[in-house]
């Protein structure tokens, strides 16, 4: 097995950024889901509610982000000052102290999304850890990812899904960090610990899928037939819901590269 592709989402729920290599830091891949759009009350907003979020493309650059969206001028989002305004934001059941972006960036996002929003960033003062119910520890810190710092999916799993569907869907529907080539469909279900290149990961929990998978990453519109959830219900139903992919935590630091060998331990 080997790493077929690597992806991060610098702003939660926005378009994937494809990488040839990614550095693992204390919260996952560097720059992955470190920013998040929230409403005026600080509640997180995702592609589940606002499909247009997936049309925004963010790229980390020195001192902030470069952001683009259809029919909008390019935007530079500077990193908030360490002593700047703070936001109390909620991600599912977690409340996080986060830095607030500048007003111009929020106005740009609000114009594109069609509603007033705020933009929050994880920084050194932000504390959040992975879901503890499946083996994560207090050391497994995360940014604004739903529950875990890494998501891996095998290419064979997607191929198996698409073989059951009238119209195939791209891997981007599932928003993985790591796509793995060279194994059987859903081999990731059985992983307990794997080595990717020189870094070990612990597999904690199959990823439960939601309506976000029905949002087309090219248009921001929902699939009118409810795919791929409709097909997943036929063969990926579990007591915890429909699962596709595996949530991971890193048990070390380092750099992961496309082409790295993947070895179950």
Q: What is the pLDDT of residues 57-93, one digit of tens each?
A: 999 999 999 999 999 999 999 999 989 999 999 999 9
Report the side by side order of strands in the sheet with 75-78. 57-61, 64-68, 75-78
Q: Is the pLDDT of residue 9 over 90?
A: yes
Residue 65 CA: distances (Å) to CA of 74, 105, 248: 11, 10, 26
Query: Percentage of the chain surpassing pLDDT 90?
Result: 97
CA distance 125 to 137: 19
CA distance 149 to 128: 11
Buried b vs exposed e over 188-208: b needs ≥16 C-beta within 10 Å? bbebeebbbbebbbbbbbbbe
Query: Percentage of the chain surpassing pLDDT 70?
Result: 100
User: What residues have CB less than 8 Å from 107, skipping those under 6 apart?
Assistant: none
CA distance 93 to 240: 18
**Which of these, 167, 122, 140, lies nearest to 12 by C-alpha position?**
122
Please give the pLDDT value at position 133.
Answer: 86
List pLDDT tens digits, range 179-237.
999 999 999 999 999 999 999 999 999 999 999 999 999 999 999 999 999 999 999 99
Q: Is the pLDDT of residue 240 over 90?
A: no
Average pLDDT over residues 126-135: 93
Domains with residue ranges and CATH for the chain: 2-27+131-264 (2.40.33.20), 33-121 (no CATH)
């Amino acid at each position: 097995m080997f790493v077929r592709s690597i992806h991060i989402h610098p702003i939660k729920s926005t378009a994937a950024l494809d990488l040839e290599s990614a550095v693992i830091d204390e919260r996952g891949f560097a720059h992955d889901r470190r920013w998040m759009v929230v409403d005026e009350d600080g509640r997180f907003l995702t592609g589940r509610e606002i499909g247009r979020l997936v049309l925004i493309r963010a790229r980390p650059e020195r001192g902030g982000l470069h952001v683009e969206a259809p029919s909008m001028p390019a935007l530079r989002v500077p990193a908030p000052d360490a002593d700047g305004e703070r936001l109390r934001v909620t991600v599912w059941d977690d409340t996080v102290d986060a830095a607030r972006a500048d007003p111009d960036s929020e106005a740009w996002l609000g114009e594109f999304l069609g509603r007033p929003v705020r933009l929050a960033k994880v920084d050194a003062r932000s504390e959040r850890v992975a879901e503890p119910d499946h083996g994560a520890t207090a050391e497994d810190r995360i940014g604004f990812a739903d529950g875990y710092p890494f998501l891996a999916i095998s290419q064979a799993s997607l191929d198996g899904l698409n073989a059951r569907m009238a119209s195939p869907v791209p891997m981007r529907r599932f928003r993985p960090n790591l796509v793995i080539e060279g194994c059987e469909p859903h081999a990731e279900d059985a992983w307990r610990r794997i080595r990717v290149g020189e870094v070990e990961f612990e597999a904690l929990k199959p990823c439960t899928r939601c309506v976000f998978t029905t949002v087309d990453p090219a248009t921001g519109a929902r699939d009118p037939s409810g795919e791929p959830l409709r097909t997943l219900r036929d063969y990926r139903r579990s007591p915890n819901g429909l699962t596709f992919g595996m949530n991971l935590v890193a048990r070390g630091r380092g750099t992961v590269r496309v082409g790295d060998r993947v070895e179950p331990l």
